[in-house]
Structure 1
Amino acid sequence: MDTLTAITERRSIREFEDKPVSQETIEKILDLATKAPSGKNRQPWRFVVLQGSKKAELAAIMARVAAERKQQSLDTGSSELSINAIRQASAVIAVFNAFSTVEADYNHYRLLTDTQSIGAAIQTMLLAAQTFGLGTLWMCDIFYSEREIRSWLGRSDELVAAIAIGHAAQSPYPRSRKDWQEVTEWEKEN
C-alpha cells in the first residue's frame, strides 16, 4: 500500500476481530514509529505494549475509574467505547513522554516540540499499521485514568495517548473533513 492510500483509507477502528497480531508485526510498526521526525532529535516517545491479561487489567482500571466518575456526575468522554476497543484489540500501545516529568527546566516550547514529535510518531504508527492491513484507534480517554495507569505501570513520565491495534471488524465510512481551503490562509507577495 502506498502512503497516499494509507492516508486516505485510514479510519478509527472501534471494533476488532478476535485474531492476534504477531509480535513481529508490532515490532515493525514500533520501529517505523521511531523513524518519525523529532524536534532537536530528542525522541521523547516511550512505548509500553500491553497484551493478554495486561490489556485486560488496563480495561478494568479504566472501567473502574469511569464508574467512579459517573457516580460523581463527572465527564467520562467516550471511555466506554475506548474500553470496549481495548478489550477487543490484539494489543494496546501506551505512549509516554519521557521528558515531561524528569526535566526541571521543561518549558512551554520544549513541551510543544516534544508533543509534536510524539504526535508524529503516533501518526507514523497508525499509517504503518494501515499498511500492514491492521486497524487502530488513537485513544485519549486514558486521560481520565492517567494517574491510576501510570501508578499501575510504575511510570513517572507523562501518559500521552494509547493506541489499540488489531484486525478491524468494521469498515467505518469516511468522516467529514473541512476542505483545505477552509482552514488555510495563503499569503504571498505579488
Structure 2
Amino acid sequence: MDTLKVITERRSIREFQNKSIPQETIEAILELTMKAPSGKNRQPWRFVVLQDKRKDELINIMTNVTNHRKLQGLDIGSCEGSIHAMNQASVVILVFNAFSNFEKDYNHYRLLTDTQSIGAAIQIMILAAQDFGLGTLWICDIFYSEREICSWSNRSDELVAALAIGYANQSPNPRPRQSWRDVTEWEHL
C-alpha cells in the first residue's frame, strides 16, 4: 500500500456497483481497523456489519424517518443521498461507542478521547477499504434516525457513524480543500 497515494486518491463515493464484497475482505478491513490508535487503549469502537436483508431493513428505517420528518417540515440533512448510497453499497457498517452510555464516571474528556479514537478507527477502515479497491462513504445522517436504529439493532451503546462500503461506480473529482497554511499557526520560541 502506498499510503500517500491512498490518502491523496481517496474520495467519498456515492454511487456503487451491484457487486458483492467477499467476507474475507471485510474481515481483513476490520482486522486492520483494530490497529487504530486509541486513547488510553480503551478501544471504544463497536461495529455491526449489515448486508442483504439487514441492510435493507436499515434503509427502510431511515427512509421512513426521513419521510416522516419531511411531512413535518423538519430538517433531513442529506439523508436522501445517504440512503441512496447505502442502498447501492454492498455493506454498511454501523459504528458505536461502547462506553458513553455505561460508564458511571463518563465525562466530557473521556467522550472527546473516545470520539477521537473512533474517528481514527473509521479513517483506518476507509484507507484499508481504499487499498482493497473499494469505495466508502462516511455517513452521519444516521443521527436523524438514531433512536430508531438503536432500537431496531437492540443496541444501548451510542451510535456514532455508519460507513457504506462497495465497489465504486464513479470517480469523483477532488473536493476543494483549505490550504494547511490557512488553518495553521506556526509558533517558534
State whether TM-score is above 0.5: yes
Distance across 2 between alignment mates of 1:153 and 1:118: 19
The aligned counterpart of 2:36 is 36
The aligned counterpart of 2:52 is 52
The aligned counterpart of 2:81 is 81
The aligned counterpart of 1:27 is 27
CA RMSD, 1 decimal: 0.5
Distance across 2 between alignment mates of 1:133 and 1:83: 22
The aligned counterpart of 2:69 is 69
Three-state SS of the structure 1 residue aligned to 2:47 is strand
Aligned pairs for 1:149-188 within 5 A: 149-188=149-188
The aligned counterpart of 1:108 is 108
Are 2:97 and 1:122 equivalent residues in the alignment? no
**Could you list the per-position Cα deviations for residues 49-69 of structure 1 after superposition, in whole angstroms to 9, with x for gaps in the alignment?**
000000000000000000011
Instruction: Tell me the TM-score normalised to structure 1 length.
Output: 0.99
Distance across 2 between alignment mates of 1:67 and 1:100: 30
Aligned amino acid, residue 58 of structure 2: L
**Could you list the per-position Cα deviations for residues 93-129 of structure 1 after superposition, in whole angstroms to 9, with x for gaps in the alignment?**
0000000101111100000000000000000000000
Aligned amino acid, residue 97 of structure 1: N
Distance across 2 between alignment mates of 1:171 and 1:105: 46
The aligned counterpart of 1:148 is 148
Distance across 1 between alignment mates of 2:144 and 2:109: 25
Distance across 2 between alignment mates of 1:33 and 1:147: 26
Deviation at 1:183?
A: 0.5
Aligned amino acid, residue 72 of structure 1: Q
Three-state SS of the structure 1 residue aligned to 2:59 is helix
Three-state SS of the structure 2 residue aligned to 1:159 is strand
Distance across 2 between alignment mates of 1:81 and 1:63: 11
Deviation at 1:16?
A: 0.2
Aligned amino acid, residue 140 of structure 2: C
Aligned amino acid, residue 158 of structure 2: E
Q: Give % identity.
A: 72
Aligned amino acid, residue 71 of structure 1: L
Q: Where does structure 2 lack aligned partners over 5 or more consecutive residues? A: none
Distance across 1 between alignment mates of 2:81 and 2:22: 24
